[in-house]
C-alpha cells in the first residue's frame, strides 16, 4: 500500500523575505482577516501584506482591520476566534504595541481561545540595549500565553509561524505569540510551503491526548457509578465549545435523560430552552441550577475546571456527589476537586465512546428530571417589576423576544454580563462571547467587531456597561470605519455596578471609587461623532419595545443607551468563598428557606 504524497506547494522554492513568508503562512492557514496596528519594527510585514493583496494573481485577499488600540486588535481576534472556532490573528509592533497586547493574550489563555499574535521586534543586534520601542516580549509573554517564540534563526521564520497555528488550535486551545526582529523580517530565503518545528514533548502529549479513547474497563466503571446514581447531573464547561462537542453533549444528555448545568463559558453547549437545561451554575447561576448541584449524587464534569466562581467553597461543592471528570488537559484533573473517575482526552470522542458503551444501559431518571423542573418553576429568575425606573432584566427580556436565541451576544464585564447570561436564550454554541476567567472590562465592543466580521450572517449584539464601554470606546470609530453592523446596547447605571453591589453587601455601603455621577459623558453624542447613524438614549419603558426593534433592524452599526436603575442587583449570588447553601436569592427569587427542598419527593430508596 502506497501513501499518497502531499502535493508540493505552488510557491515552494520561491525566494521571499521573512515578512512575505509570515503573510504567506497566514494565507496557507486560511486566515481571512488580520487585526492589527502598524509601527516601525513591523513595517516590513505590513508592507508584505500590502503587496500580497495588491498582487492580482492572488485569489484570497487578507482583510486588514486597524483598531484604535492594540488591545482592541487582540479582543477583535479573540471575538473572531470565539464566534467561528478558527484561529484569530493580530499583528502589532514592538514595545508599547506589544505590551498593549498582554491583556488580550492573558484573557485568551484564561478562556482557552486560539489566537496568534505576531509582533515586530528591534533588530537582533539591538536586543538588550534598551533600543527605541524595545520590550522583552518573550519574558513578558512567557507567563501569560500557551507558547511564545522569539525568532532568532531567520531560516526558521516560516516553520515558526506555521507551528504557532498548530499549537494555538491543538489540544486545549490557547494564544501563541511570535516575536520577530526587524532584520529577520527583512531576511530573504526560499519558501518551503511546509514544515513545522519539532517540539517532541508537546507533540507526544498532544498525540496521546487526541488518540486516547475510553477503554472497556473505564466505561464499565463509569456505568457502574451511573447505575448506582439516582440524581446524576452533567456539568459542562467551555471545553465543550472548544471541542465542538455540543452535539455529542446534547445527545448524551437526551439518551440517558440527565439534566445539564453549564458554566458561563459553556453557555450554548445545550439549548437553554430545553427541558434538561438548568442554565448556568455558580456565583450568579440560577437558583435551580445551584440547588440541583447541592442535591445531585453523581456530577459528570466535561470540559470544566471547578473554578472559584463555580465551586466556591470547594469542600461543600456538590456535597452528596461522586465526581466524574473529562478534560483534554491532564493538569485540570484533581487540581481543585479530586474525582472518583476521570478521563484525559477529547470531550467529543469521550462522550461518543460513553454513548456507544452505554447503548444498552437502562436507568430511569425521570423522577429526578421531574424534580429539577419543579425547581425551575419554584425558583425562577425574577426582579423588581413595579419600579418606575427601567430594570436591566426587563430590557434584556424584551430584547430576547426579538432575537429569539439566534443572535450572537457579546458582553463587557460586570452586572450586564451576568444579566445577559441569565436572561437571553441561547440555542447554539458560540452564541455568547464574553471574558470569563479574566473578567476583562473593555472586552465587549472590540470582541463584537471581531465576531461580526467572522459571522457576517448573524446579528451581533454587544451588551455593555458604561464602565466597561469607556475602556475601549475608541473602537466605536473602528466599527463605523469598516462598516461592521454591530448593535451596541449600553445599560447605563452611572457606576461600576458589580463592584457597587459588593460594596453594598460586604463593605457597609462605602462606595469608594465606583460612583460615576461626576462623569458627564454624553454617549449618544460620542456615538454620533464616531459616525453612528443610529444613536439614541431612552429612560422610559414605554419607549423600550419600539426602540429595541428599530435598533436591531437597523442595517448598519447601531447604538442604543438605556438608562437603568443604578441600584439593580444581580441575583442569585453566592458570595466569594461561600458555599451554595449560603446563596443569596435576593428579594424577588424564592429560596429554599421559603420553599423546603423537595428531595423527599423521590422514593426513599432513591435518597442518598
Q: How confident is the model at residue 520 (pLDDT cuts 50, 70, 90)?
A: confident
498 is catalytic: yes
133 is catalytic: yes
Q: How confident is the model at residue 271 (pLDDT cuts 50, 70, 90)?
A: very high
596 is catalytic: no
Alpha carbon 532 to chain centroid distance?
27
Segment 207-226 mean pLDDT: 93
Delimiting residues of CATH 3.40.50.1220 domain(s) in the chain: 214-381+599-606
342: left (phi over 0), alpha (psi -120 to 50) or beta: beta
Q: How confident is the model at residue 204 (pLDDT cuts 50, 70, 90)?
A: confident
Q: How confident is the model at residue 596 (pLDDT cuts 50, 70, 90)?
A: low
Segment 519-536 mean pLDDT: 96
Segment 337-360 mean pLDDT: 96
CATH superfamily entry for domain 392-563? Thiamin diphosphate (ThDP)-binding fold, Pyr/PP domains (3.40.50.970)
CATH of domain 15-208: 3.40.50.970
* Least confident piece of the model among 13-27, 196-210, 405-419, 464-478: 196-210
Active site residue: 86, 146, 182, 516, which one? Answer: 182
Residue 374 pLDDT exceeds 60: yes
Assign 3-state DSSP to the chain and report helix, strand, coil percentages, each to 5.
40, 15, 45
Q: How far apart are CA 87 and CA 161, in angstroms?
A: 13
141 is catalytic: no
Cis peptide before 488 (omega within 30 of 0): no
Residue 242 pLDDT exceeds 90: yes
User: Count of residues for the chain?
Assistant: 608
Tens of pLDDT, residues 151-162: 999 999 999 999
Active site residue: 32, 133, 398, 578, which one? Answer: 133
Q: What pLDDT score was predicted for residue 209?
A: 82
Q: What pLDDT score was predicted for residue 425?
A: 98
CATH match of 214-381+599-606 with 3.40.50.1220: yes
Active site residue: 21, 24, 35, 70, which one? Answer: 70
Segment 524-538 mean pLDDT: 98
Residue 57 pLDDT exceeds 80: no
Q: What pLDDT score was predicted for residue 607?
A: 42
70 is catalytic: yes
Q: How far apart are CA 170 and CA 185, in angstroms?
A: 26
Phi, psi of 188 (to 5 degrees): -120, 130
Q: How far apart are CA 250 and CA 269, in angstroms?
A: 8
Segment 162-168 mean pLDDT: 98
Active site residue: 76, 441, 498, 573, which one? Answer: 498
pTM of the model: 0.95
Segment 4-32 mean pLDDT: 94
Delimiting residues of CATH 3.40.50.970 domain(s) in the chain: 15-208, 392-563
Q: What pLDDT score was predicted for residue 517?
A: 78
Sequence-distant (6+) residues with CB within 8 A of 546 are none
Segment 382-399 mean pLDDT: 97
Active site residue: 14, 50, 60, 132, which one? Answer: 132
Q: What pLDDT score was predicted for residue 440?
A: 97
**Cell numbers given for 360:** 444498552
Segment 68-80 mean pLDDT: 98
Q: Which of 257, 277, 431 is nearest to 355 (CA)?
A: 257
Q: What pLDDT score was predicted for residue 608?
A: 37
Question: Please, what is the average pLDDT of the chain?
Answer: 94
Q: How far apart are CA 274 and CA 293, in angstroms?
A: 18
Amino acid at each position: 500500500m502506497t501513501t499518497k504524497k502531499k502535493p508540493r506547494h505552488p510557491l515552494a522554492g520561491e525566494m521571499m523575505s521573512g515578512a512575505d513568508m509570515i503573510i504567506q503562512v497566514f494565507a496557507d492557514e486560511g486566515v481571512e482577516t488580520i487585526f492589527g496596528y502598524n509601527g516601525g519594527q513591523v513595517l516590513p510585514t505590513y508592507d508584505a501584506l500590502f503587496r500580497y493583496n495588491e498582487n492580482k494573481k492572488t485569489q484570497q485577499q487578507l482583510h486588514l482591520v486597524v483598531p484604535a488600540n492594540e488591545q482592541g486588535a487582540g479582543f477583535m481576534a479573540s471575538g473572531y476566534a470565539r464566534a467561528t472556532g478558527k484561529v484569530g490573528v493580530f499583528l502589532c509592533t514592538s514595545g508599547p504595541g506589544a505590551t498593549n497586547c498582554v491583556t488580550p493574550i492573558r484573557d485568551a489563555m484564561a478562556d482557552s481561545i486560539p489566537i496568534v499574535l505576531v509582533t515586530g521586534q528591534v533588530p537582533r543586534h539591538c536586543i538588550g540595549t534598551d533600543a527605541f520601542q524595545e520590550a522583552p516580549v518573550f519574558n513578558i509573554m512567557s507567563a501569560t500565553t500557551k507558547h511564545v517564540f522569539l525568532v532568532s534563526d531567520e531560516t526558521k521564520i516560516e516553520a515558526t509561524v506555521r507551528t504557532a497555528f498548530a499549537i494555538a488550535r491543538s489540544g486545549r486551545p490557547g494564544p501563541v505569540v511570535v516575536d520577530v526582529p526587524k532584520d529577520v523580517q527583512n531576511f530573504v530565503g526560499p519558501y518551503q510551503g511546509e514544515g513545522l518545528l519539532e517540539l517532541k514533548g508537546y507533540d507526544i502529549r498532544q498525540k496521546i491526548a487526541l488518540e486516547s479513547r475510553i477503554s472497556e474497563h473505564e466505561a464499565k466503571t463509569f456505568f457502574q457509578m451511573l447505575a448506582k446514581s439516582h440524581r446524576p447531573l452533567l456539568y459542562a464547561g467551555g471545553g465543550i465549545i472548544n471541542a465542538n462537542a455540543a452535539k455529542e453533549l446534547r445527545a448524551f444528555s437526551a439518551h440517558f435523560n440527565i439534566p445539564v448545568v453549564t458554566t458561563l463559558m459553556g453557555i450554548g453547549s445545550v439549548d437553554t430552552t430545553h427541558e434538561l437545561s438548568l442554565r448556568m451554575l455558580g456565583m450568579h447561576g440560577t437558583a435551580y441550577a445551584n440547588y440541583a448541584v447541592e442535591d445531585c449524587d453523581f456530577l459528570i464534569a466535561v470540559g470544566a475546571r471547578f473554578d472559584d466562581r463555580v465551586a466556591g467553597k470547594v469542600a461543600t461543592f456538590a456535597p452528596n456527589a461522586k465526581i466524574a471528570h473529562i478534560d483534554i488537559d491532564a493538569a485540570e484533573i484533581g487540581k481543585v476537586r479530586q474525582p472518583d473517575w476521570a478521563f484525559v482526552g477529547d470531550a467529543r470522542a469521550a462522550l461518543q465512546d460513553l454513548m456507544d458503551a452505554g447503548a444498552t444501559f437502562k436507568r430511569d431518571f425521570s423522577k429526578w428530571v421531574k424534580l429539577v423542573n419543579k425547581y425551575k418553576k419554584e425558583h425562577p429568575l425574577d426582579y423588581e417589576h413595579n419600579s418606575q425606573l427601567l430594570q436591566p432584566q426587563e430590557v434584556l427580556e424584551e430584547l430576547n423576544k426579538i432575537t429569539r436565541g439566534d443572535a450572537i451576544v457579546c458582553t463587557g464585564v460586570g452586572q450586564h454580563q451576568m444579566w445577559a447570561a441569565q436572561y437571553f436564550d441561547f440555542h447554539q454554541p458560540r452564541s455568547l462571547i464574553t471574558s470569563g476567567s479574566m473578567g476583562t472590562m473593555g472586552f465587549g465592543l472590540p470582541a463584537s467587531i471581531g465576531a461580526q466580521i467572522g459571522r457576517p450572517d448573524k446579528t451581533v449584539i454587544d451588551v455593555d456597561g458604561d464602565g466597561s464601554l469607556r475602556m475601549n470606546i475608541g473602537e466605536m470609530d473602528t466599527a463605523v470605519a469598516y462598516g461592521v453592523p454591530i448593535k451596541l446596547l449600553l445599560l447605563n447605571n452611572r457606576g461600576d455596578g458589580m463592584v457597587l453591589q459588593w460594596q453594598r453587601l460586604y463593605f457597609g455601603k462605602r462606595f469608594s471609587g465606583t460612583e460615576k455621577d461626576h462623569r458627564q459623558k454624553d454617549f449618544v453624542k460620542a456615538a454620533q461623532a464616531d459616525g453612528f447613524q443610529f444613536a439614541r438614549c431612552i429612560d422610559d419603558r414605554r419607549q423600550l419595545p419600539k426602540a429595541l426593534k428599530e435598533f436591531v433592524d437597523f442595517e448598519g452599526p447601531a447604538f442604543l443607551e438605556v438608562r437603568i436603575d443604578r441600584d439593580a442587583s444581580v441575583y442569585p449570588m453566592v458570595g466569594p468563598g461561600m458555599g451554595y447553601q449560603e446563596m443569596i436569592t435576593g428579594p424577588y427569587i424564592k429560596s429554599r428557606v421559603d420553599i423546603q427542598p423537595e428531595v423527599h419527593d423521590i422514593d426513599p430508596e432513591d435518597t442518598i
